[in-house]
Each structure stands twice: as C-alpha cells, then as structure tokens.
Amino acid sequence: MSDRRILVTGLSGFVGQHLARAMQDVLPDSELLPLTCDVTDADAVQEAVATLSPDACLHLAAISAIPVARAAPDRAWAVNLQGTLNLARALHAERPDAWFLHVSSGDAYGASFKLERPLDEDAPLAPINTYGATKAAADMAMSAMAAEGFRVIRLRPFNHTGPGQAPDFAIPAFARQIALIRAGRQEPILRTGSLTAFRDFLDVRDVCRAYALCLRHANGLAPGTILNIASGTARRIGDVLQGLLALSGVAVSIETDPSRARPTDIPLAIGNAGRLRDRVGWDPEITWEQTLRDVLDDWTLRIAELD
C-alpha cells in the first residue's frame, strides 16, 4: 500500500503522537487524516468518512485506561464498542474497498491468561474488566462484519508505554512520582498498586511500526485476520519500578496504596506475536532500558516545565 490517504482516529492521543514517524519510515507516501469528530456521533462520523474518502482507516480512539473505563462504564461502551461500529459501518458504506485496522487489546484475553503461557490469537476472549469487555465486544463485532465482506484487520496490542503517556498507567505513574521526588516536589515516598504481577510490555514506537507494517501489507492479509502485537517477554511490575529507580538515582520508600489496586487482576499476561512476525516481518527494535529512560526523561521535562 502506498500513496494512500489513511484516516486515523485518536491521532492527537498518546499513540497517535508517535504514529507519524512510524508511517514516514514504513509508508512515506501516505497521508494521515485525523478524524476530528466524536466517534459516538454516527451522523458526524458518516459525514466525515464521506468527505475524506480514505483508502484505509486506523482506529486508535478509545477509553484505554482500565480504571477510567471502570469508573465510567457507559462512556467506555459508547466509545469502544458503538464508536467502533459507527466508524466501521461508515467506512464499509462509503469506501467498501478500504481497509479498516481495528486496534483491540491483549487485555481482551482476560481469564485465558490463567493458562500461564504466551497466548496466540487462537486463545479465547474472556475479559475480566470493563475495558477488556468493551474491546472484546468490538473485536467480535468486527469478526461478524468480516464474514460479510468487510476488509478489517483485528490487532491486539499488549501493554505499551513510552514518552507522552498519561499517568493513568503504571510505568508513567512511577516515572511521574520519581520526577516529582527528584525535583523536591514530593516526599521520597513512592505509592504503588500491586507490584507482583507480570506483564508483556512494548515500546509505543515499536507498536506504531507494527501498525504501519500492517497497513503496508494489508492487501496480503485476509479480512478478519487477527494479529497479536507482543514482546513475548514477561516483566514483573516491581522489577520495572526498580529499573526506573536505578536510572533515576533516587532513593525512595515504597508504599502500597489500596486505592490503586484493581478489583480483578491476573498474575501473568504474556503474548505470542509469531503470526505478526510471519505475516509482516515485525519484531520489537527498541531496548527496554531505552524505553524506561525515555519515559523517565519525558516526565523529568514535564515536571521541570511546572517551574
């Protein structure tokens, strides 16, 4: 795919801010078109798609933080499920030849992680929280549309982080507190949720490169194809925190904050991205230490700008 107009939802968000660089590297002749309307407004979405007439759509927009989805479930369902349906239906009606890349989530596997092995795309969707449920529902809706001829690729990225991420997620939340402590703006006590779980983390820039590669190779993929985006490495949350502290040189006390605990959680979540590797030639390229360093530097700069 080249010389294509790519409609992107959520282009101004955390992932979107890194997408342009990946697209420039992988599909340099493509043009990114931001969707500026609310995805829950079906009429506005239909009008925007008709006006822009894109060759493909990458659907990033979502309520993506588990605590935010839990606190506002109606909004999460409206955005993550109904918003996806609005966009997919509009694209199918206006540009039936266009590819739709639906960004789901590894969190949709939920209770399947109890198998305690790297999950591939054949693992059942078994969500255990509101966010995962909304993503699983949208994923299944896209499966049904694919069976009716819709050109959709279903992507399931696992946890990803990097510079620019909000502190609604564990790694930027740690980095923010470390930056505040180092700047003398917070007492040297770092408050966390559980540190015992293991998660499969990626750098957001590697994830964006996966999206770009999927767009480039879309014509070689069957409608409805599911692709995990995962590192295949499980990292203990406590070890991630220690890695950030080692890079910062800050000495802190660590306290568990009950308000940061999740009602449901799983001890190990890890994915198998072998299919993505085989179909589009993707592998993670950014080292984990570089990811942590960039997140910490980002928050150090943000805190310095408060002065």
From first to last of its 307 residues, what are the pLDDT tens digits of the chain? 445 899 999 999 999 999 999 999 999 999 999 999 999 999 999 999 999 999 999 999 999 999 999 999 999 999 999 999 999 999 999 999 999 999 999 999 999 999 999 999 999 999 999 999 999 999 999 999 999 999 999 999 999 999 999 999 999 999 999 999 999 999 999 999 989 999 999 999 999 999 999 999 999 999 999 999 999 999 999 999 999 999 999 999 999 887 776 666 799 999 999 999 999 999 999 999 999 999 999 999 999 998 7
CATH 3.40.50.10470 fits 5-162+202-233+270-285, yes or no: no
The residue written with tokens 């910490």 in the block is: 296
What was the pLDDT predicted at 264? 63
Q: 198-200 and 268-269: which strand pairing?
A: parallel
Instruction: Answer for the pair 231, 162: CB distance below 8 angstroms, yes or no.
Output: no
Whole-angstrom distance, CA of residue 45 vs CA of residue 218: 23
DSSP state for residue 111 in the 8-state scheme: G
pTM: 0.96
What was the pLDDT predicted at 262? 66
What was the pLDDT predicted at 2? 46
Whole-angstrom distance, CA of residue 8 vs CA of residue 101: 10
Element (H, E) at 202: strand 202-203
Domain positions in the chain: 5-162+202-233+270-285
Q: Residue 228: which of 268, 283, 275, 270 has the closest Cα?
A: 275
Token pair, residue 121, equals 């795309």
